[in-house]
Structure 1
Amino acid sequence: MIIYQSGLITLDYDPATDILYIKWPDVQDFLVPEIKQALHILVDHIRSYDIKKLLIESSKASLDIPGDEYKVVVNEFGQNLMNSRLEKLARILTPNTMRETKVEEVKQELNFSVAMRTFTDKKKALSWLKGTVAEEA
């Protein structure tokens, strides 16, 4: 069920599995304050619905934010997630190695307490979030 939708993000929540899904769009046309606001909305919904599992699909997203500025945004997002009751975060990785490196740096610097794994496909990510073993093809 869609619990929030804007021009930037759509939050799709499945109460049966307690998984919130967000597909991160191509955000080249958005400014950093808009991206930060979208992340605040995401965290607010995680808190409001007491969501324990989050799946972020970012494989198609591209972002025109300098590395250091991106790291600041990710740092703030990570801190906010740690101040929620979120337990598991699955990410579908981006093809942008700089962004993936910054995410890993922030994860280490924050001592990120939410269980987090990165995947190449949605099926495996969902299996991990649900606590089931993904079948290998």
Structure 2
Amino acid sequence: MGLEKVLSISGKPGLYELTAQTRGGFVAKSITEGNKISVSVRHNVSLLSEIAVYTYTEEVPLGTIFQKMYEKEDGKTAIDHKASKKELETYFAEVLPDYDVDRVYQSDIKKIIQWYNVLVSNGFTDFSKGEEKGAESSAEKGKDEEE
């Protein structure tokens, strides 16, 4: 499973894996607890593969940042997302030195570190966005727009 199947759902804690599509939305499984939920199209849902972080020169995909964190930590979890603001910013600057400090907020850094820790502690290590899978998700998006 790549990041194109990992979801963040507003109003629901944690991360979810997309398991099936339904007529009125989709079914997602909690990565931490394993329970399935039905999510309607009215929920605000973000695919982790579609999220990027601002730098002074470009937008860096979240998968790239997760991969840098994974390499920095040798496959272990990162610092606690509840650490002090200064610790979080220092850590994030080590991972992504040219991140835009005016556009990337402390809450964004906390969420990225929290997501990384959840994924790694649940055995997720594939932070790439595969071309084969990317084409598949593009086809699904086109299908959704037609309906």
TM interval, shorter chain, is: under 0.3
TM-score w.r.t. length of structure 1: 0.24
TM-score w.r.t. length of structure 2: 0.23
Tell which structure's C-alpha radius of gyration is larger: 2
